[in-house]
């Protein structure tokens, strides 16, 4: 009966989570960067943001590749594809949490503790979509951990060893054929774990940390676990070779990256932090997360306490016989190192995003250890149990720190799903697709900030440079960040650099100098005012076909300004000529007017 209740409650939680995630579906601005990379790759331009520019402006290679087959489809919207993969990853995480829960239930535990915590955290359901790799990343970590830890009764090396000899022993009646098959199933479990771990390295660079700890976990299984005659072990058995190749496979990916992009680290590493610390901002980031989800504080406390107890039991008492205790490497040590790193660099501008992938692992750690923890309070066991199991209810009653705010931004950390509403995204998409052919035909080059990634994807300009952080530009990415700026923002881009890149339009005006008589570009109800940086008659002629757009035709302006120009003193005249030269003459499309102004310096 208890088992039926367990499955009924688990399935109800999963259904609630999936339905809620679908209802909350949205897509973040950064997601359109990955979508543009996928689009260009599908069109044969390479895995690039701008054709011919080999800059890794994404951090989610695997996620980006998943989106490639659906680009250009007339029936499948790539945005809906991101929803599908995200929610499917959320579902997969739920299934693995339920499987972990079944392991815990063998110790008379009949409540899906980890699953309940995961599903009832609102932002886990929010980031099931968002167009980002967050949900997939957490799924890969958990899947790898499950398959690796499911072999806790036997060591990795001995499993392969016994599998290689199992059928031979079966023929000699030393072991049954059924047992030999069972050993083979264990080895396949390990292979699946290594595959998922390797894929996490492709999904985000921080997957390398997890992969390294997977290696440590396997080594600790191999060396002290059992007395094995190494001379007799078939080290060249195909299964061992396959497992080793799979483990080192991320090396080949990074060799390709070095060859293709000229750098192992993605450009986003330099754009966001460059590895420099911002601990104060990181503590704010963590503090806001714990403030909203205050029910997690005792869970983290139990996790740390049980980790210290495990280490004391293993290290101080030198108890290395129980190999399953090494699970703390994946379920506790990794989340602590991962979360500590992102706290040290300042977190993120999106609320909670970088903490979400590690939460399932911590929840599993607590679920597997909670029975041992409750035994410390035999007299208060019933009260302690009730208190601990009431914590998921407090997750529903979260303290929404953004509630009542005009803009959901606190200390530069935003609740992005409240900003990028699905309805507004659909509206921008519809309007942009109507204008797309004009932008493509004009071959316009633009500068944009992160919030305008959606325009870049749908309008598809020939060249686009992200100027707020330099996500797609290595020069801007390596500029110093303004002190006090939002995490991942705050680069001050020299206008001269954008002019040298022949950028025609800046799709924003914030932070720019005051407009002149001729450089404002009005878009009607489509967007806010833009700024013309380099005026090109051929580009502007095409954009002028959009009736809602308006700007000063600079050729006409120059003709009307000639009398005023002659009245200027030589010094001012020279200054004005330089201004016109940067804005217009340097493109060489109007030599006649250029000569007139140059001769009258």
Q: Provide the pLDDT for residue 61.
A: 96
Residue 356 CA to residue 64 CA, distance in Å, equals 20
Q: Do 124 and 177 touch, CB atoms closer than 8 A?
A: no
Count of CB atoms situated within 10 Å of the CB of 295: 21
**Structure tokens belonging to residue 404:** 């009542």
Task: Please state which of the ranges 131-140, 211-220, 386-395 shows the lowest mean pLDDT.
Answer: 386-395
Mean pLDDT of the region 260-271:
92
| 3-class state of residue 552 by DSSP | coil
| pTM over cut 0.85 | yes
Banded pLDDT at 484 (limits 50, 70, 90): low
Summarised one tens digit per residue, pLDDT across range 397-453 is 899 999 888 889 998 899 999 999 999 999 999 999 999 999 999 999 999 998 899
Rounded-to-integer distance, Cα 141 and Cα 199, Å: 9
Q: What is the mean pLDDT of residues 167-180?
A: 44
Cβ-Cβ contacts under 8 Å for 554 (sequence gap 6 or more): 518, 535, 537, 540, 583, 584
Q: What's the mean pLDDT in 276-303?
A: 93
Six token digits for residue 487: 């995490």
| 3-class state of residue 530 by DSSP | strand
Compute the average pLDDT of residues 576-594: 92
Work out the mean pLDDT of the chain and round it to a whole number. 87
Mapping DSSP to helix (H, G, I), strand (E, B) and coil, where does residue 109 land? coil
Burial of 591 (0-12, 13-18, 19+ CB in 10 A): exposed
* Distance (Å, whole) CA 313 – CA 311: 5
* Per-residue model confidence as pLDDT tens digits over 457-474: 999 999 999 998 899 999
Residue 168 has pLDDT above 50, yes or no: no
pLDDT reported for residue 405:
82
The whole-number average pLDDT for the span 126-132 is: 96
* φ, ψ dihedrals at 505, nearest 5°: -130, 140
H/E stretch holding 221: helix 207-222
Tokens of 271: 């754009």
At 510, list the tokens: 């914030």
Q: Which residues contact 236 (CB under 8 A, 6 or more apart)?
A: none
**Which neighbouring-strand residues pair with 481?**
491
Q: Which two tokens stand for residue 589?
A: 């499309």
Range of lowest pLDDT (202-206, 287-291, 322-326, 544-548):
322-326
Residues whose CB falls within 8 Å of the CB of residue 462, separated by 6 or more in sequence, listed in order: 50, 51, 440, 443, 444, 445
* pLDDT beyond 90 at 546: yes
* pLDDT (tens digit per residue) in 349-399: 999 999 999 999 999 999 988 877 777 777 666 777 777 778 888 889 899
The model's confidence at residue 72, banded by pLDDT at 50, 70 and 90, is confident
Contacting residues for 184 by C-beta, under 8 A, at least 6 apart:
163, 166
Could you give the CA distance from residue 335 to residue 286 in angstroms, rounded to a whole number? 14
Q: Which of 436-440, 505-509, 583-587 has the highest average model confidence (pLDDT)?
A: 436-440
């Amino acid at each position: 009966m208890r088992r039926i209740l367990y499955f009924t409650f688990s399935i109800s939680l999963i259904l609630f989570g999936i339905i809620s995630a679908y209802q909350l579906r949205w897509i973040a601005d950064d997601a359109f960067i990955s979508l543009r990379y996928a689009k260009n790759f599908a069109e044969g331009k390479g895995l690039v943001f701008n054709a011919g520019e080999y800059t890794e402006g994404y951090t989610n290679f695997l996620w980006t590749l998943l989106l490639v087959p659906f680009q250009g489809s007339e029936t499948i919207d790539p945005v809906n594809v991101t929803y599908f993969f995200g929610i499917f990853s959320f579902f997969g995480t739920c299934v693995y949490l339920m499987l972990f829960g079944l392991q815990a239930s063998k110790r008379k535990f009949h409540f899906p503790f980890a699953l309940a915590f995961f599903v009832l955290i609102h932002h886990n359901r929010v980031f099931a979509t968002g167009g980002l790799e967050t949900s997939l990343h957490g799924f890969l970590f958990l899947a790898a951990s499950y398959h690796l830890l499911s072999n806790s009764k036997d060591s990795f090396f001995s499993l392969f060893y016994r599998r290689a000899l199992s059928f031979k022993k079966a023929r000699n009646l030393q072991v049954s054929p059924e047992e030999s098959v069972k050993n083979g199933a264990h080895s396949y479990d390990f292979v699946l774990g290594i595959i998922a771990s390797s894929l996490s390295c492709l999904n985000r660079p921080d997957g390398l940390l997890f992969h390294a700890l997977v290696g440590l976990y396997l080594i600790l299984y191999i060396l002290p676990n059992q007395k094995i005659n190494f001379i007799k072990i078939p080290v060249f058995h195909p299964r061992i070779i396959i497992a080793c190749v799979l483990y080192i496979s991320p090396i080949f990916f990074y060799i390709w990256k070095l060859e293709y992009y000229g750098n192992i680290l993605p450009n986003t590493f330099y754009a966001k932090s460059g590895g420099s610390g911002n601990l104060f901002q990181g503590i704010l980031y963590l503090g806001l997360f714990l403030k909203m989800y205050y029910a997690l504080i005792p869970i983290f406390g139990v996790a740390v306490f049980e980790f210290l107890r495990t280490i004391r039991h293993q290290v101080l008492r030198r108890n290395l016989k129980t190999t399953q205790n090494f699970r703390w490497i994946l379920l506790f040590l990794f989340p602590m190192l991962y979360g500590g790193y992102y706290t040290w660099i300042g977190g993120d501008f999106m609320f909670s995003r970088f903490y979400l992938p590690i939460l399932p692992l911590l929840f599993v750690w607590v679920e597997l250890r909670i029975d041992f923890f409750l035994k410390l309070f035999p007299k208060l066991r019933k009260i302690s149990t009730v208190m601990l199991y009431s914590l998921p209810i407090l997750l529903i009653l979260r303290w929404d720190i953004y509630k009542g705010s005009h803009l959901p931004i606190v200390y530069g950390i935003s609740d992005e799903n409240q900003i990028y509403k699905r309805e507004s995204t659909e509206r921008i998409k519809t309007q942009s697709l109507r204008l797309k052919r004009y932008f493509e035909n004009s071959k316009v080059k633009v500068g944009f900030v992160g919030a305008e990634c959606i325009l870049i994807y749908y309008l598809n300009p020939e060249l686009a440079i992200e100027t707020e952080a330099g996500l797609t530009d290595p020069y801007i990415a390596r500029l110093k960040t303004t002190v006090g700026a939002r995490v991942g923002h705050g680069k001050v881009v020299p206008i001269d650099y954008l002019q040298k890149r022949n950028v025609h339009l800046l799709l924003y005006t914030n932070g720019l100098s005051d407009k002149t008589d001729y450089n404002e570009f009005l878009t009607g109800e489509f967007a806010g005012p833009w700024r013309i940086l380099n005026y090109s008659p051929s580009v502007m002629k095409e954009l002028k076909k959009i009736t809602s757009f308006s700007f000063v035709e600079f050729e006409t302006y120059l003709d009307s300004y000639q009398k005023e120009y002659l009245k200027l003193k030589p010094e001012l005249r020279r200054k004005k000529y330089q201004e016109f030269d940067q804005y217009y003459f340097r493109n060489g499309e109007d030599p006649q007017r250029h000569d007139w102004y140059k001769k009258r310096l």
